[in-house]
Structure 1
């Protein structure tokens, strides 16, 4: 997740300008941009949850399809043994990749949390030191 991107679900000058321009050009565009600003992070987690639900549902289909072929023997014992070993190896590889993806997702969540914490701490230091903050500009 690149949080230095110009357009991200946050109140940045670029997203505010796009929202205002969207309302001027065609109001649903402005409304869509406002929804993205407010709910963009939640949409990412919603998409991940939806994808994992569909993946779990499709995994049942794959298992049934695999079990159908597992019972279908070709008559060549060496080939059938090799095929079963390869399918088991591929399944193990898939499991490892899924674990790695989960670890990476957890790492990115922690990275985002740490960045948020650092930004909050910096804000509190500036506020405590009487530095210019958003409230002081009002």
Structure 2
């Protein structure tokens, strides 16, 4: 019988769902798509649930592979043991996440402005057509 010493720590084992997600992430986007297709073949609600999850978690539309994203996520949470560097890393990551959020917000405003411009152009053309129709009558 083995006993735990004070230096040993107990890390809870992730759930089967988390282990499956990590395994699929390691295999890449193709594995996610294969799992989704198999889900549709064997029991369509599973395939639909996987498709919804892939869209919700943005796994479907990223240019990077899931495996690289998973490894990057693990690297950001691991401590190096150097508290000054860990503080610097945490501050840099926080700043980068804030910049990413600001950039995504900028892109959203840009898309909204483009949509509004296209809609305004459509309404102007429609108004011109209806003015032309009433002038002919």
TM-score, normalised relative to structure 1 = 0.48
Task: Indicate the structure whose relative CO is greater, using CA pairs within 8 Å and at least 6 residues apart.
Answer: 2
